[in-house]
Amino acid sequence: MILCKDSPESVDTTIRELEENLKEGMITASNRTSLAHAKVVGIACDVCEPSDVQKLANFAVNEFGSIDIWVSVLAFSAVLCNLHFTLS
């Protein structure tokens, strides 16, 4: 998993938290082999800046070789927010 946040400090903090969660998951998981190759990395990125998004994509390819799924939580949140107002 690759994450991006607005500052290097928040990236580092979130990676540490996710790595701890991953360790806990490996302890409690019945099928530990499915988590054995899990990896969490991140980079600071302003998703409003196309050049930063390109850097994020390049970082992802360098880390994992390709991008299989790209999820933008901000975009997803905006869709849900618009849906909520549309339905209200």
Task: State the average pLDDT over residues 51-80.
Answer: 82
Task: State the average pLDDT over residues 71-82.
Answer: 62
What per-residue confidence (pLDDT) applies to 83? Answer: 55
DSSP state letter for 34: G
Comparing 24-28, 39-43, 50-54, 59-63, which segment has the lowest mean pLDDT?
A: 24-28
d(CA 64, CA 45): 18
d(CA 18, CA 28): 15
Q: What percentage of the chain exceeds 90 in pLDDT? A: 33
What per-residue confidence (pLDDT) applies to 31? Answer: 60
